[in-house]
Amino acid sequence: MAVHVRLERDGDLARVVLDTPGKRVNTLSVALLHELERLLDRLESAHDLAGILLVSAKPESFAAGADLDELARVDTPEPLRLWVERGQRALRRWEDLAVPTAAAIHGAALGGGLELALACTFRVAADDPATSLGLPEVRLGLLPALGGTHRLPRTVGLARGLDLLLTGRPLAAREALRCGLVDEVVPPPVLDRAARELLARRPPRRRAGGPGEWLLARNPAGRALLFAAARRRVERESGGHYPAPPAILAAAAAGACGGREAGERVEAERFAGLALGVPSRRLVGLFRATRAGAAGAEESEREAAPARGLVGVLGAGFMGAGIAAAAARADHPVRLLDAQPEALARGLGRCHARFAEAARRGRLAPQEARRLFARIAPALSPTGFARAELVVEAIVEELEPKRALLAAIEPQLAPGAVIASNTSTLPIAELARGLARPERVLGLHFFSPVHRMPLVEVVRQPATGDEAVARALAFVRGLGKTPVVVRDGPGFYTTRILAPYLAEAGRLLLAGAPAVAVDRAGREAGFPVGPLTLLDEVGIDIALHAARTLAAAFGARMPVPEPFARLVEAGRLGRKSGRGFHDYRGRRKRVDREALALLGVPAKRWLPPSGEIADRLRFAMAVEAVRCLEEGIVAAPADGDVAAVLGLGFPPFLGGPFRFLDALGAAAAVARLEALAASAGPAFAPPDLLREHAARGTAFHEVSS
Question: Which residues are known catalytic residues?
Answer: 457
Alpha-carbon gap, residue 18 to 340, rounded angstroms: 54
User: What does the buried/exposed string (b/e) look like for 148-183 if buried means 16 or more CB atoms within 10 Å of the residue's CB?
Assistant: bbbbbbbbbbbbbbbbbbbbbebbbbbbbbbbbbbb
Nearest to 381 by CA among 408, 402, 401, 404: 408
Q: Are 147 and 118 in contact (CB under 8 A)?
A: yes
Is there a cis peptide before residue 21, judged by omega within 30 degrees of 0?
A: no
In this structure, what is the dihedral angle of CA atoms 159, 276, 650, 295, given to the nearest 10 degrees?
A: 100
Q: Which of 449, 392, 388 shows the shortest CA–CA distance to 421?
A: 392
Q: Compute the chain's Rg from CA coordinates.
A: 27
- Show the beta-strand stretches assigned E in 127-258: 132-134, 171-172, 184-186
| Contacting residues for 317 by C-beta, under 8 A, at least 6 apart | 338, 343, 347, 394, 395
C-beta of residue 194 within 8 angstroms of C-beta of residue 203: no
Question: How far is the C-alpha of 281 from the C-alpha of 275, rounded, in Å?
Answer: 7
Residue 302's alpha-carbon distances to 288, 299, 474, in angstroms, are 21, 6, 8
Q: Could you give the dihedral angle defined by the CA atoms of residues 21, 22, 24 and 27, in that order, rounded to the nearest 10 degrees?
A: -50
CA–CA distance, 124 with 117 (Å, rounded to integer)? 10
> Whose CA is closest to 335, among 326, 324, 345, 344?
324
**CA-CA distance, 31 to 4, in Å (whole number)?**
7
For residue 304, the SS3 value is coil
